[in-house]
Chains A and B, each alone.
Chain A
Amino acid sequence: MNVELLTKSEVMAISGEEGNFTVVVKKDPRYVDMEKCIACGICAEKCPKKVDDPYNMGVSKRKAAYIKYGQTVPLKYAIDGENCIYFTKGKCRACEKYCPTGAINFHEKEVILPLNVGAVVLAPGFKPFDPTPYENFGYKRVPDVVTGLEYERLLSAGGPCLGHLTMPSTGREPRKIAWIQCVGSRDISRSSNGYCSTVCCMYAMKQALATAEHLSGGKLERTVFYMDIRTQNKEFERYYETAREKGVRFIRSRPHSVDPGHGGTGVQVEYVTEEGKPAVEDFDLLVLSIGMEPAQDVEKLAYLMDCRRDHYGFIATHPFDPAVSSRKGIYVAGAAQAPKAIPRSVTEASAAAAEAARSLSAAKASLTTEKTYPPERDISREPPRVGVFVCACGINISGTVDVNQLADYARNLPGVAFVENNMFTCSTDTQVLMAEKIREHNLNRIVVAACTPRTHEPLFQDTLRECGLNPYLLEMANIRNHNSWVHVGDPEKATVKARDQVRMAVAKAALNAPLEQPRVNVIQQAMVVGGGLAGMSAAINLADQGHQVALVEKSHRLGGVAWRLTETWNGLPVRPYLTELIHKTENHPLIKVYKNARIKTCKGSVGDFTSDVESGGRTRTLRYGAAVFATGAHEHEPREYLYGQDPRIMTHLQFDAEKREHPEGVEKASSVVFIQCVGSREPERPYCSRVCCTHTVHTAVKLKEMNPEMDVYVLNRDMRTYGEREDLYRKARERGVIFIRFTRAEKPRVLQEKGALLVEVQDPILQRPLKLPAEYLVLATAIVPNDINELVDLYKCGLNEDGFLNQAHPKLRPVDMPVDGLFLAGLCNYPKPIDEAISQGKAAAARAGVILSKNIMQLDAIKSYVTEKCDGCALCLDVCPYAAIRMEEHGSNGHTFRRVATDSALCKGCGLCESTCPKEGVLVHGFTLPQLKAQVDAALES
């Protein structure tokens, strides 16, 4: 209601300043009236013009009347003016003729809209790299060479092969598929993209593993040609291990030539093995793992917005303000800022929202609107009077299902008081008529036989509310998506099924009762647990949004692990920023900092938590509506490589301190050796610590700058300088830092010989062992999460196998915890550099702000409830995944009994309790066992 979507629109100009911009938007004609379009698809069916489908990367066709794909938002068709026959040749108008709602409007013109806004968020996305310049990789020249995105479409059930993978050349199933990584990434010879696109290693592996599901079985060989495998994100390293275990072959090589295979089908790939031997191999299909580039619009948009771009053309941001562009009031999210995958894009989108919320906090909620409804009618004493509305959906339903016969049938069902056929039940005028009929016939249960409740239930529920009926008295029979659309050739049986569906819905509706949506009085204050960079960023943003914040820190000072960092990877000193942030936090009028603090209890749930917090010998009771966990991590103390036995062997943070405190000693060193993955990517810690490669190359470059004569060696398993950090890796090589690979099976050995420290390693290129002298040996040790088991028990949230806090969804809800009202940020979630920790902190603040900005939160009514039949057997307690059920003891006159109680704020209505309970002691509103049985019985009645 408070979001307006302007599709087919483009920004033409912007003026003004933070808090008061005027943005001029050009809205191109869609030629389809969005109010009238019901997305039936008849326009596309009748349109005679076929064009390459850009969504399927041109590997299939669509019509000039189209939707981009099935899940398009808003789900409304459009006419592609450039290809439409009417627009190009002056006649046709087939879509106009056949559109059942008269939605086609060829006279629509572009509209110029001036918008007055306080903040702007830029999220224009990226452009997939076009591999045509890599002639040697055969793209467009060899038919069976495709890009990663094209391959994605080939695998998709909605793609040109309907999910059954075939070779473009022959239409046969491929049996041997290869991927070439870093096409258009990490390459300054054929492209100018020196950065790592960060997503391609994972998508190639995902494709390799998913391929088997898209073939009919049998033998399948998958090979990935790579330079470094970069699985640095949460759970990615495990995925890599799985790919290896499942037989994906990884070859560290960059093929130099690709030619058509024998007889013009398949491909022949020539490459040099890691041992330096030439090799030729045939594959059926070759996938080029193309990288990301700034979208073309980015250049124009940044120019219009007067935002600075970086040397690769991505919109520039400051590491300490990761979602803020160079122009005040304009924020940025997603791959327009740097190449990144979904979780970081979503996190940054929330961080950008946090920045906008902070900037606009004075005007908060001044333009939001809320709808009011008449009081609800009491139907408790009325017998069911069911109204059935049968939708024809133009011909979408009526083309297959006999809707008139269906309506006649419905009239004779028990409890049915009124039945009507509608052409389009969802149209605005039908909603008005529906409300009239509800009042006129005193209906108290409504069945709409139409499309899916997943899209249309809210609309019809709203109509019920408008005429004083509880919205949960509605039931839908999905006779379109689950019937007429999928049984096109069988109208008779489809009509029988529709009758059954309506009968089932009527039977259930008769048992529907008015439900009350639980309301929570929100305590509009936040708690932040952990006072490092992420925690402070969250606290300050929440306080700037106007919320009181309690910041709980277990140690005696704020700042966390950032105190031990010298510089960000792009060379900015950390201390000045850190001290400023601490100052801001400690002096913010809305932030109360508790140091040496411990959370002792937690009661309540989303919107209203209560905790006892002990700090400085005193225990206080704090109430809060949401909490952000930012409990941090620390450097692992190694046991290997003679650590602790020789003062010259240090961890990264120790070496940073050494450089700060004894720069002259470090400068004089003639040789420094780094060993990577110390304690990471090992069986006992099978994850990548993510920040160490960048930390190492950053330090290595610094050492070379201090003393170009110094020998600097980096012993690594893969260098994982993702994104623009790749620049540092290249710079390190240019400065003469020597990178030597080792494997987990053949690790370096550290020796003390005659007082000298030596590192022995097998060089894979020279194929002989090397002995490197080390005046300093720096171990890039793992990052391990702080122990928060006590908190996890209190809040009933979860850790992954490595001890990092779990998010609600790894891609789409990256800062929400599975427990409602709890959010996370920083290292406690996974190792990450400063900019990402800050943006996660701000993102968590934005997400918490969604809860805290309202004083009353209305929850969905589909929740579990306890009946008189409960005898306290407690079977349901163990199965509830949300810890929403507790045992209570009741007693009167000396007689006590036990019965469970449910917490509607925690319950998600999944009904595991209902199906576990042997006696209907706990049920879910709207989906009770009697309701489900009524549907089953009705289905089987005929």
Chain B
Amino acid sequence: MSTSFEPVIIGFLCNWCAYAGGDLAGVGRLQYPPNMRPIRVMCSGMVSPELVLHALKQGADGVMVMG
């Protein structure tokens, strides 16, 4: 069994806070693992349960809703 499991995590980032926070993390060069695939949304409230389930069904190893 492979020990190098690389999860793919779908991240929904609110444009006004989490996405901006992600930008600042970049400016500050704060390092984190490259497994998250960021999707910008205009509010975390825009992310429906259906969308989360859809991501998991399509094979996402995790979903993060950040807002």
Contact = CB atoms under 8 A, between A and B. Distances in A.
Nearest to A491: B34
A936 B8 contact: no
A504 B37 CA distance: 9
Contact of B37 (A501, A924, A927): A501
B46 A453 contact: no
B34 A504 contact: no
A504 B40 CA distance: 11
B43 A936 contact: no
Interface in B17-67: 19-20, 22-34, 37-43, 45-51, 54-55, 58-60
Given A915-B51, A936-B54, A940-B8, A481 B42 contact: no
Q: Is the interface of B mostly helix, strand, loop or mixed?
A: mixed
B31 A487 contact: yes
Interface stretch (A599-607, A685-693, A906-914): A906-914
Interface in A916-935: 916, 924, 927, 929, 932-933, 935
B62 to A, nearest CB: 12
A339 B42 CA distance: 37
Nearest to A492: B34
A60 B64 CA distance: 34
Interface string A469-484: 0000000001011110
Contact of A924 (B8, B10, B29, B46): B46
Contacts of A452: 19, 23, 26
Contacts of B47: 915, 932
Contacts of A916: 48
B34 A497 contact: yes
B26 A486 contact: yes
Contact of B10 (A483, A914, A936): A936
Nearest to A862: B42
A935 B46 contact: no
Contact of A914 (B22, B34, B48): B48
Q: Is the interface of A mostly helix, strand, loop or mixed?
A: helix
A496 B39 CA distance: 16
B38 A478 contact: yes
Given A912-B46, A929-B51, A940-B60, A501 B38 contact: yes
A937 interface: yes
Nearest to A71: B24
A500 interface: yes
B38 A927 contact: no
A500 B39 CA distance: 11
A485 B51 contact: no
Interface string A481-511: 1110111111001101100110010000000
28 contacts: A452-B26, A454-B20, A480-B26, A482-B38, A486-B25, A486-B31, A487-B32, A487-B33, A490-B34, A504-B39, A909-B42, A910-B42, A910-B43, A910-B45, A910-B46, A911-B41, A911-B45, A912-B45, A915-B46, A915-B48, A915-B49, A916-B48, A929-B48, A932-B39, A936-B51, A936-B55, A940-B8, A940-B10
Interface of B: 6, 8, 10, 15, 19-20, 22-34, 37-43, 45-51, 54-55, 58-60
Q: Which 5 A-B pairs have the closest CB atoms?
A: A911-B46, A481-B26, A915-B48, A910-B43, A485-B26
Given A70-B27, A485-B29, A879-B45, 5 more contacts: A158-B28, A454-B15, A909-B42, A927-B46, A936-B10
